Amino acid sequence: MDNVGITVGRHSGAPRAIFFGVAALVFAASATVTFVWCASMDAMGGTPMSGGWTMSALWAPMCGRTWLDAAVSFAGMWNVMMVAMMLPAVAPALWRYFEAVGERPAAQAGGMTVMAGFGYFLVWLAVGALVFAAGAQLTALAVAAPALSHTAPAVAGVVVVIAGVLQFSAWKARWLACCGNVPSCGHARLDVQAALRHGLRLGQHCLCCCGNLMAALLAAGVMDRPAMALVAAAIAAERWMPGGARVARGVGAAAIAVGVVMVVRALTA
């Protein structure tokens, strides 16, 4: 993503403080809702499966509810979770977009930035729909085929290892190097479509950059709160800390170690 043609308005500390203050409040609210949601799902329990793992009630409709109800509920909570996980990583990029349209009135620039954020999380909502469909199918197969269920923990460990290996790849380095730049918005047009397209491009870039880490989270357990927090911290750190490439490799090494432990435990269980 190049940043050719971006027009950046200079803002004093007050707009920046307001922007990141609002972002912090949104993050705190979404994190709280996510924590309560995960706790409620834990309280509901799950179904013990062959292989020593538990199938969460997340992937099937509860008694008296339809698959559509389950999908809508999952999509809503998935997006709240994505806000909690991804806002720390994307907030600096949204601030840069605000600066890029900052020569307009602040209220209009703020509205367009909100629309760009909506487009960004719309990408993750689409990912959530695919995740639910895949998760529901895989859990149904695991119920129908105990042999397949028995291999699930080892397969999950392999996925985490692969995610870790990708952290060392040129593909990862290329996408990570782009994170310091905003997709080109030129002399940003102040309209809904332009802001929405900008957010969609930002979301697509983010998906390419951190999709492997999100896959590792799904393999480790999407309801696992410590894993969720660690992945969110890793995604933000590798983007915005100095020496992001080194941070990414450190994250990759940790993921490989965790994945190997998961595989060994599965094979020796």
5 falls within a domain = no
Residue 58 neighbours by CB under 8 Å, 6+ apart: 41, 74, 135, 222, 223
Residue 49: φ, ψ to 5°: -120, 160
26 falls within a domain = yes
What residue numbers bound the domain in which 29 lies? Answer: 13-268
22 falls within a domain = yes
pLDDT band at 149 (very low <50, low <70, confident <90, very high): confident
- What's the mean per-residue pLDDT of the chain? 85
1 falls within a domain = no
pLDDT band at 13 (very low <50, low <70, confident <90, very high): low
192 falls within a domain = yes
Residue 77 neighbours by CB under 8 Å, 6+ apart: 33, 34, 37
2 falls within a domain = no
Nearest CA to 221 out of 7, 35, 38, 36 is that of: 38
4 falls within a domain = no
pLDDT tens sequence across 76-110: 899 999 999 999 999 999 998 888 886 667 778 88
Token pair of 127 as six digits: 């990912």
48 falls within a domain = yes
pLDDT band at 55 (very low <50, low <70, confident <90, very high): confident
Number of domains in the chain: 1
Distance CA 266, CA 249 (A): 26
pTM: predicted TM-score of the whole model, two decimal places:
0.86
